[in-house]
Amino acid sequence: MKLSKELLNELRVKPDGPANLRKRSTEAVRADWLGPGDKHDDATAKQIAQADLRAFVDEIAAAQSLLWADGTNALLIVLQAMDAAGKDGTIKHVMSGVNPQGCRVQAFKQPSTEELAHDFLWRATRNLPELGGITIFNRSYYEDVLVTRVHPELLDRTRERPAADAESKFWKHRYEDINNFERHLHRNHTRVVKVFLHVSRDEQRRRFLSRLEDPAKNWKFSVADLAERQHWDEYQSAYEEALSATSTPWAPWYVVPADHKYTLRALVGGIVVDTIDQLDLRAPTVSAETMAALGRARTELLAEA
């Protein structure tokens, strides 16, 4: 099971091109998921997307085994989004088939005192996947060109806040640092794939209300989320600039419509499968000497019967 090249190209932010978030749909249901003559409605699309997701989950599980056995590559998945866009649910469903021993999720919250005492990429560096492993960043080092862009006063903690006439240069340098960091990872066999879950303001409102109205979901809501919602347009501008400046051939950004969770999860699963496929993984070859040893071991075990 694979996503078409046309769909992947549509989701990918072209290097040196604009992300065009305002022009991208947050709720598109892809007609090319449906067979000829099928009714193009949400119920049909949901059913097909869920079946596709199950196929992607199986492929990711099989690929993880090869990734671990091969031991020469690693995969870093970066998830960024506005609040309530579905990051946690995406991780839960898309990665449901992987072995926890070879996959780790790292959430990036407010930086600690120790993290603030280092450069902004330090806390990401210390959480990178080992060769053979998969790490998912739930938010990431991109927070330092997003949250700090919307709330520049946070830079006062590290005495980095630029003067007004130097602000543009400051952010340009941060984008350059991120691109160089990700190119370094790619050259050293860590494949980086970045996904922005593109949710609408109306859908975020509906999900916030759902959390408030359902006692079982109350714990998911934070008053701070509502405060950040007031900066919606500023965050959209920050994302537009960051995604446009940092989508590269070696670490592309994908913008995935997130208003329908079934579409979102299937698309992310397909993107992960496509990324792993590019590694062209193979099971390790076994030497003749090892094969002979395995044959002797088999003979010895059979003799015990």
pLDDT in tens, 80-136: 999 999 999 999 999 999 999 899 999 999 999 999 999 999 999 999 999 999 999
Record the pTM. 0.91
| Tens of pLDDT, residues 197-209 | 999 999 999 999 9
Domains annotated for the chain, with CATH where assigned, are 5-303 (3.40.50.300)
52, two tokens? 């596709």
> CA 176, 179, 181, 184 torsion: positive or negative?
negative
| Tens of pLDDT, residues 283-303 | 888 889 999 999 999 999 999
Structural contact between residues 115 and 75, judged by C-beta atoms closer than 8 angstroms = no
pLDDT of residue 54: 94
- Within 8 A by CB and 6+ apart from 93, the residues are 53, 57, 265
pLDDT of residue 281: 85
Q: For 145, which DSSP code?
A: G
Q: Is residue 305 pLDDT above 80, yes or no?
A: no
Which amino acid does the sequence have at 214? D
Give the least confident one: 28-42, 45-59, 290-304: 28-42
Structural contact between residues 192 and 76, judged by C-beta atoms closer than 8 angstroms = yes
Give the mean model confidence (pLDDT) for residues 31-43.
56
Give the H/E segment covering residue 168: helix 167-187
| Tens of pLDDT, residues 134-192 | 999 999 999 999 999 999 999 999 999 999 899 999 999 999 999 999 999 999 999 99
Give the mean model confidence (pLDDT) for residues 27-47.
63
Q: Is residue 46 pLDDT above 90, yes or no?
A: no
Give the mean model confidence (pLDDT) for residues 53-73.
93
73, two tokens? 């590559």
pLDDT of residue 9: 94
Q: Is residue 31 pLDDT above 70, yes or no?
A: no
Other Cβ atoms less than 10 A from the Cβ of 44: the count is: 15
- Percentage of the chain modeled with pLDDT above 70: 96
Backbone φ, ψ for residue 83 (5° rounding): -60, 145
Backbone φ, ψ for residue 123 (5° rounding): -70, -25
Q: Is residue 29 pLDDT above 90, yes or no?
A: no
